[in-house]
Amino acid sequence: MFLWVRQEIQTVSREIELSIMSESHIKAEDLHRVEGVRVAAVQAGVRYKNRLDLVVMEIAPGSTVASVFTLNAFCAAPVQLSRKHLKDSGGQIRYLLINTGNANAGTGQKGLDDALSCCANLAAQAGVPVSAVLPFSTGVIGENLPVDKIVAGVPNALSTLGDNWLDAAKGIMTTDTRPKARSVVIDCNGRPVTITGIAKGAGMIKPNMATLLSFVFTDAGIAQPLLQQLLKGVVDQSFNRITVDGDTSTNDCCVLVATGKSGVNFSEADLAASSDFEDALQALVKELAKDIIRDAEGAKKFVTVDIQGGADTGECLKVAYVIAESPLVKTALSASDPNWGRILAAIGRAGLHELDVGHISIHLGEVCIVENGTLATSYREALGQAEMSKPAIDIIVNLARGSAREIVWTSDLSEEYVRINASYRS
């Protein structure tokens, strides 16, 4: 068995052990090699000098690829082209080409032509069809892609392909302050299976994906329809359960690749019989999602909004997001102010049918603030202040309407967030 047990993984037939690192102390050696994948990151000067900003990922022939993209109607050129290439190639993808510093969004036909030009250049050098290359971009919206800089950087990236996972995690960063990478090795009937993933994102984060990029790889063998099903379920409980500011991006995506090089192949029946792989994948991607919240622009607080006792999932999520995205709640969090009235007011405007506020309870961690819709008799301001002063805060609401429960992760809203986004294009 392997080391680094994570609390999030349920014990099923055996203990699953994850190599989960502290998000601020990731080392290259902590990230496990995925057989059938090579990655590289180089400095192309897309927007800034002396920073990794161009990433190439090579995928072995025969690998399966699943993906989800932004639901923003103003989706960027690379999103449109990636969707087309996935269809045109029949899923036979060989390379991912990622740049930061420029989103290539809101750029019309020229944006599509530029993204295609970059893909064609890489395809020609690698000897693969242009449809076998998926482009991804993140950065400033509305500026033309510097194709010449990207094309100039591709040969260097191709010549340095290897197990450069940490560099790749750094190479996809924009306003992120630290790389986000996770890795796991699990035992499947005596054979190791590896999952390694990276992500970026710090602002413009909202469900239906967000301004995030995430690339997750495993050496397990999984047919594409099942891989797509797995990815959708994983994303719904991770990247689609986080919000920083309520803004959905034009460029976000999450890609899951299965190379099959471990010799362990999963069918739907296999996964139904043992949830170990699915649990490990879910836990890893969930940690990547949480890393985005931990690194949210200007954030000082990691906030869990836990809605219990809902009539169904939908109303739990309504309440969770109205709390998580309330500027008044988020600024109170930033100030460590246990202003429970703001939370109660947010719940009241979530639009729940015939909500009886007289049954609602609210806790900050272990401290009951509201019971039966009013200030708890046991509550003392000092207790609430102590909870709000913590770097990690749990807001727990019981609606007393049913048995549904949903959790959303968010951050506070600080002056630093305003400063970062006010000067983003400068």
Residue closest to 210 by CA, chosen among 181, 246, 179: 246
Q: Which amino acid is at 416?
A: E
Residues 6+ apart with CB under 8 A from 35: 60, 194, 219, 259, 261, 262
> Six-digit token pair at 391?
């770097």
d(CA 63, CA 61): 6
Which DSSP state fits 162?
B
d(CA 313, CA 311): 7
Q: Specify the pairing of strand 191-200 against strand 180-188.
A: antiparallel
Residues 6+ apart with CB under 8 A from 7: none
> Six-digit token pair at 67?
């993906």
Whether 416 and 296 have beta carbons less than 8 Å apart is answered as no
Q: H helices then E strands: how many in the chain?
A: 12, 18
Positions annotated as catalytic residues are: 211
Q: Specify the pairing of strand 221-222 against strand 265-266.
A: parallel
Whether 40 and 47 have beta carbons less than 8 Å apart is answered as no
- Give, for 180, the enclosing helix (H) or strand (E): strand 180-188
